[in-house]
């Protein structure tokens, strides 16, 4: 009877955690995530052996590490997806505080690994990038603050969340990491829009962001060099963008064949930032479209399920996580095809990287938890009852 009235599968008293999770989780989204992880291992086999050989390592050194960190990411994803929204809120706030402290100490204790941006802590056996973990926890914190502002006599959560976002962006710009800063600001803007922000305010914030970008261009050589390279009508064939552009053109519709690609021998970041170029060269447009379809399926299905949620915290946090996940993938692929300036951002679940894989697992695990079926009335049902 409950299922007929509320349109959702009710919880069964005494039901074990795993059967209840399997019954309520979005299996299509889960399958798409597992497929992306499989594609990442496949492309890792294609792209990383040349780099390992140049560094005097076992040819499959990076693939083995990707499988290890990917396994940790999947465990984190499954564990997180079994939690309740209240548990995720507690973990999210605590995780945000720890990640923020780690981000704040980067200028003093971090390293740049010769890349010109202090973004990592060197642990000897691995590296740790705080900004990757900060993103999913930031979405949860902002959603909690904005949802609290809807309560009677609640705190000014939206204003507080704006100051939090600006502080984080400031730390990221100091690294410099303009790509992650823009992604954090985008995530906040999406959640603020869903929370009911007026369009005029959104336009004002957009103008403010444009002004900050202009200031960064005039005062940061790192930022200006990347913008100038993007706007230049000619692409230097000896740069990473030049190699990636040529690889995508060579791949065509069906690719040059498995193991026959040449871009992996020239690109130092072929297994990370430009892994989509390896996919396009060896497997062609077919695999690239399949990867885009997987990201689209995860995002669209998550947003459709979140539209039926009546809990503002779940709606806001889930929307922020889904949109940041999709936009990060879009930025990575957009850079490779020269639609966007170079950002140094990984492709979630596909690119090599311990921090990015585990952080993506945590973020998507939270998204799976927020989109699980719950015994509640849908928001559309509530609005219809109010209109009668």
Can you tell me the mean pLDDT for 161-178? 89
How far does the chain reach from its first CA to its final CA, in angstroms?
23
* Higher-confidence position of 334 and 343: 334
- Reported confidence tier of residue 327, pLDDT bands at 50, 70, 90: very high
pLDDT of 196 higher than 90? no
Can you tell me the mean pLDDT for 231-246? 72
- Reported confidence tier of residue 12, pLDDT bands at 50, 70, 90: low
From the list 206, 115, 184, 141, the residue with the least C-alpha distance to 328 is 184
pLDDT of 1 higher than 50? no
**Which of 45-49, 196-200, 270-274 is modeled with the greatest confidence?**
45-49
pLDDT of 272 higher than 80? yes
Q: How many CA atoms lie within 13 A of 85 on its CB side?
A: 18
CA Rg value for the chain: 22
pLDDT of 9 higher than 90? no
From the list 122, 40, 68, the residue with the least C-alpha distance to 287 is 40
Enumerate the domain spans of the chain: 26-371
pLDDT at residue 387 in the model: 52
**Which of 113-127, 154-168, 218-232 is modeled with the greatest confidence?**
154-168
Contacts of residues 298-301 at CB distance under 8 Å and 24 or more positions apart, as own/partner, are 298/29, 298/32, 298/33, 298/322, 298/325, 298/326, 298/364, 299/323, 299/325, 299/326, 301/26, 301/28, 301/29, 301/371
pLDDT at residue 208 in the model: 76
Q: Are 105 and 53 in contact, with CB atoms under 8 Å apart? A: no
Q: Which two tokens stand for residue 373?
A: 């079926």
* Cα gap 297→29, rounded to integer Å: 7
Lowest-pLDDT choice from 27-31, 337-341, 349-353, 377-381:
377-381
Q: Are 76 and 362 in contact, with CB atoms under 8 Å apart? A: yes
pLDDT of 380 higher than 70? no
Can you tell me the mean pLDDT for 180-200? 88
Average predicted confidence (pLDDT) for the chain: 85
Can you tell me the mean pLDDT for 309-337? 93
Can you tell me the mean pLDDT for 103-117? 83
The residue whose two tokens read 């949620």 is 309
pLDDT at residue 274 in the model: 87
- The percentage of residues in the chain with a pLDDT greater than 70, rounded to a whole number, is 89
pLDDT of 304 higher than 90? yes
pLDDT at residue 40 in the model: 93
What would the pLDDT profile of 34-88 be if each residue is shown by its tens digit?
A: 999 999 999 998 888 888 888 888 988 999 999 999 999 999 999 999 999 999 9
| Residue 211, C-beta contacts closer than 8 angstroms, at least 6 positions apart | none
Lowest-pLDDT choice from 41-55, 129-143, 238-252, 354-368:
238-252
Residue 128 pairs in a beta bridge with 121
* Higher-confidence position of 349 and 344: 349
pLDDT at residue 150 in the model: 85
pTM for the full model?
0.88
Alpha-carbon distances, residue 288 vs 36, 94, 173, 259, 282 (angstroms): 12, 37, 31, 17, 11
Q: What angle do CA 135, 139, 141 make, to 5 degrees?
A: 115
pLDDT at residue 8 in the model: 46
């Amino acid at each position: 009877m409950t299922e007929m009235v509320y349109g959702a599968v009710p919880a069964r008293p005494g039901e074990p955690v795993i059967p209840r999770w399997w019954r309520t989780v979005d299996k299509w989204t889960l399958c798409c995530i597992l497929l992306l992880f499989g594609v990442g291992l496949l492309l890792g086999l294609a792209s990383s052996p040349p780099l390992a050989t140049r560094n005097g390592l076992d040819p499959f050194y990076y693939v083995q590490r990707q499988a290890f960190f990917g396994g940790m990411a999947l465990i984190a994803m499954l564990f997180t997806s079994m939690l309740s929204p209240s548990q995720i809120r507690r973990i999210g706030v605590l995780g945000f505080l720890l990640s923020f402290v780690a981000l704040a100490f980067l200028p003093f204790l971090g390293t740049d690994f010769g890349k010109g941006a202090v973004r990592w802590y060197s642990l000897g056996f691995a590296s740790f990038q705080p900004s990757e973990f900060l993103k999913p926890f930031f979405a949860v914190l902002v959603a909690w603050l904005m949802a609290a502002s809807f309560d009677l006599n609640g705190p000014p959560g939206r204003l507080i969340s704006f100051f939090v976002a600006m502080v984080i962006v400031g730390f990221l710009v100091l690294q410099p990491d303009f790509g992650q800063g823009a992604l954090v600001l985008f995530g906040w803007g999406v959640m603020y829009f869903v929370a009911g922000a007026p369009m005029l305010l959104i336009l004002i914030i957009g103008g403010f962001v444009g002004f900050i970008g202009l200031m960064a261009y005039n005062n940061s050589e790192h930022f200006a060099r990347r913008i100038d390279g993007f706007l230049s009508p000619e692409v230097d064939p000896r740069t990473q963008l030049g190699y990636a552009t040529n690889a995508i053109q060579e791949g065509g519709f069906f690719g040059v064949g498995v193991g026959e690609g040449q871009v992996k021998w020239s690109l130092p970041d072929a297994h990370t930032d430009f892994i989509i170029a390896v996919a396009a060269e060896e497997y062609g447009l077919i695999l690239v479209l399949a990867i885009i379809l997987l990201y689209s399926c995860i995002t669209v299905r998550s947003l459709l399920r979140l539209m039926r949620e009546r809990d503002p915290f779940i709606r806001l946090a889930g929307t922020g996580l889904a949109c940041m996940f999709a936009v990060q993938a879009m930025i990575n692929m957009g850079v490779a095809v020269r639609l966007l300036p170079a950002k140094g951002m990984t492709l979630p679940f596909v690119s090599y990287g311990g921090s990015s894989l585990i952080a993506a697992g945590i973020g998507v695990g939270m998204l799976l938890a927020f989109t699980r079926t719950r015994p509640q009335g849908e928001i559309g049902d509530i609005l219809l009852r109010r209109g009668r």
